Structure 1
């Protein structure tokens, strides 16, 4: 501190004393205010929320994406007190993503920011959610549907090819389970034996996209495949361990690579395409209620009051649906001349 700065500080403290204030107390208040400000910036609250979601089972890939949104895409508002982040300021950050041509990322960032504001409101550090004011303000992205097979005859051909796969047994099991369970590819490859109860015929885990608990009822066919797989991989925590190390799950490209080996390119079917297959056929061919299907896809389904249903919603009906789905896939695979039964109009 220079002499001039010391004199200025002396005069400031004298002024405090003259007004009856304790300089030491004022310094503590200033430090507390500075600390509170540091803990209530948009970035600090977002980091806190991200750590909470990671502890609750958010996938490592999602953690990386959300951290990248905070540190790169939303850096302009990260250091601001969250109460100072207005809709125009948030929109300015999102517009930068639009200008880069990553429209889907801009929409994802708005949704993610909304989650941060909701958490801040719940913890008493914000009063409103400006992300909600930006609904419709961004350009609409062009939806590209992932490749899938939904024609029953072609599904039968695909299943027969998959069951003829002669590669690594763990990959073969994953291939056969993918259409039966129609979970997200990352959830399938990272499945852990500790989450699977073969006696109860259930697989319980945290959905990677929503971060909420999810239940997959296991059909008798799925239980049979997992029972056969057990002796091969039970020594690993992962149901589908990697080829090089049992301490890691199989590669994210394994199922797609197996499909390519069988002659199915990325424009025909992908590991994610089994979800579209199930969604379409369960509704249009087998006639199951859309809300049962949405629950089983681990989508965010809400009741008429806007509350999220819990993971056990319609569980009995979903168990029947999953068994009917497995039986239907078997019928397509085993009988090339199956005529699909259409739902009643």
Structure 2
């Protein structure tokens, strides 16, 4: 059972904010380029369709977990898939979260090295990031949720940075709508899916929500809709400004988008944005890291989550230094991102199907 008022408790509002923070991180910078390579001027349609699909999956996750409101992910997975299978799944999720954390740390180091500290050794930036992770996550999920509240509300004003450059944009770059063809639009769903990766943490953190109610489903789906509209707006505005042909040649098109206009007072708006963006990535890191620690803690039956906060720290530090360059980071991210399909799509659907098969027996056991 989840102990109420413990260090792991969060509110439903914090859960929705964590979902937003989890998704709005590393994916936003190169999203337009990766999707436009497949969907051309219709990249925004691919993202919109993808967001609708993920909203449906998140709805399934909340619906499923609402049937087991007071037990952990490991416990209700054991009921539906047997204990040995559940242990393997949750342990693998911990491995997946650790790998994602390591690659995200390396991605953050690459950006910090490019824009702020070009002469600082990579391992120094990585070490500082890992130490920061330990400091934020050692007190448990509650503190992580509070940190991400600050992160999300501090980056909300940057949403309005989408609009000034639109004065230089042309809607002709978005036409003809649907002109890339249905097949290309579908192809663009895959790279945009990776940008939404992270919503699967709901499987782990949902049991720790203290004030569960009938609105959990509605607001969880709305949080996905918010990210979907944000991503769709960002990509559509970049294509309208540059055209999809030019975007495919730009590594971080969003930063170039911000650099089009001169802002009063702030001369280098892209530097200003990147500074705050590092905190957004750090918010994503804290969630992924603590979720991985919770997964290992539940499978290995230790009493304290922060044991793994310290144990996994040197692991993610070393793993973050293994890729040789940015291209290898991107390649590894794509490979590990495919695991998100398993944890974020296949697993929730499988669990829901097993619940429907075992519903009568499960309900009977809970009533006893």
TM-score per shorter chain, which class?
under 0.3
- Give the TM-score normalised by structure 1: 0.25
- Give the TM-score normalised by structure 2: 0.24
Higher-Rg structure is 1
Greater RCO (CA < 8 Å, at least 6 residues apart): 2
